[in-house]
Chains A and B, each alone.
Chain A
């Protein structure tokens, strides 16, 4: 048996949940979607992915770290943080759920990033299994099952409603707190829907992509691979791939002078930008080739080397859809693997 929520009761669910915490849902905008706070009347997007990933919730694009007041030679240091509210994010796909685990490995490792941790602890993830994966999806390559997001609570669409499964204590408590809006039902339709999704996943064009040839021990072979020059040739050095990526976590720390104080904020940064490693005495990555290589080496070699073989990519396919010149991690992996096997 499984808990079930009829589709026409989804709004009731959001309303009930909103009494306890802020609920964010994907909402359509021009040719894409983004998370918005649910309010009565909000229409939930039916799309597969939000344009940006859900990492914003824990690691926002910009965030104030600390403020300074300057007077003469003296400085006053102010911690600007306020209490974080509890919130839930609905409609998170399996790939994005996995990405949070990857971000955790960075931000929750010693020394813990308290800004991130705070948001993470206040957030509840409501996963949604995929029904119609896109051609750009390759989560299977990284061992992710699009039918089982493994979030705090998983929603599976079937039988004109959602089948609900809590995977964590936090999720269970949340489901229990909503009381009787769910009904008990036989789980068979949910299993059927998942099986159907898995069938589609097998048919996807990138379903045969493997991580063979990549990993923490492949530094020497891959770093000097001939393919990087061709692959990076057309790269325009923008940050699109980085900013839509659910696992990219590099950041910059900058000061902004407001005229009556200094706000020190951090913001997303991209290793694809020419000034990423530029310092007073020079720049160790002078051309786009090196910057481009860094991004993919980090996901496919450096990250697994430091994290028990786990790759820094979840196969969500956002970069495939949004790169201005259609260069992406799949093309990189295929070309380098081909080169490697040709040796």
Chain B
């Protein structure tokens, strides 16, 4: 795919309230830069992310979706992210199976103390999606502006 110089991807980041959202907060207070086109959606736990959320993000114009939760073993609810891990693995595999670019999705475990990791992850993910170009395979044409 030809990479459009002007292309600024829309990224949706589902962040768990207890770790990754706090991590995002910390990266903010530390004045670490990450692109403004990352839209953070706070969820109580990474396992709250229904596969439908991910698909609907793509439907409404996301070019990449990233899910951030506590590191395995650190879940505020003890086990939530273990379930999320299985679910997202299977969903990503299914998207890949359908021929949808697998690199449009990612899971990262970011703790409340990892502000730097959060910013780095987002920068890396944005770069990755920019390189991939706009989401065309899992797009709802009616929503295209």
Contacts and interface: CB of A to CB of B under 8 A. Distances in A.
A256 B143 CA distance: 10
Interface string B39-64: 00000000000000000000011000
Interface residues of A, number: 5
Interface string B109-136: 0000000000000000000000000000
Interface stretch (A154-162, A217-225, A257-265, A299-307): A257-265
Nearest to B141: A258
Interface in A188-225: none
Contacts of B143: 258-260
Interface of A: 256, 258-260, 263
10 contacts: A256-B142, A258-B140, A258-B142, A258-B143, A259-B60, A259-B61, A259-B143, A260-B143, A260-B145, A263-B142
Closest 10 CB pairs of A and B: A258-B143, A258-B142, A259-B143, A259-B60, A260-B145, A263-B142, A256-B142, A259-B61, A260-B143, A258-B140
B60 to A, nearest CB: 5
For the residues of B in contact with A, the DSSP-based class is loop
For the residues of A in contact with B, the DSSP-based class is loop
Interface residues of B, number: 6
A197 to B, nearest CB: 44
B145 to A, nearest CB: 6
Nearest to A265: B142
A263 B145 CA distance: 13
Given A258-B140, A258-B142, 8 more contacts: A256-B142, A258-B143, A259-B60, A259-B61, A259-B143, A260-B143, A260-B145, A263-B142
Contacts of B60: 259
A71 to B, nearest CB: 15
Contacts of B61: 259
Contacts of A259: 60-61, 143
A318 to B, nearest CB: 29
Contacts of A260: 143, 145
A263 B140 CA distance: 13
A260 B61 CA distance: 11
Nearest to A64: B142
The listed residue with most A CB atoms (<10 A of its CB), out of B60, B61, B143, is: B143
B51 to A, nearest CB: 20
A258 B61 CA distance: 10
Nearest to B145: A260
Interface in B17-46: none
A60 to B, nearest CB: 15
Nearest to B61: A259
A307 to B, nearest CB: 36
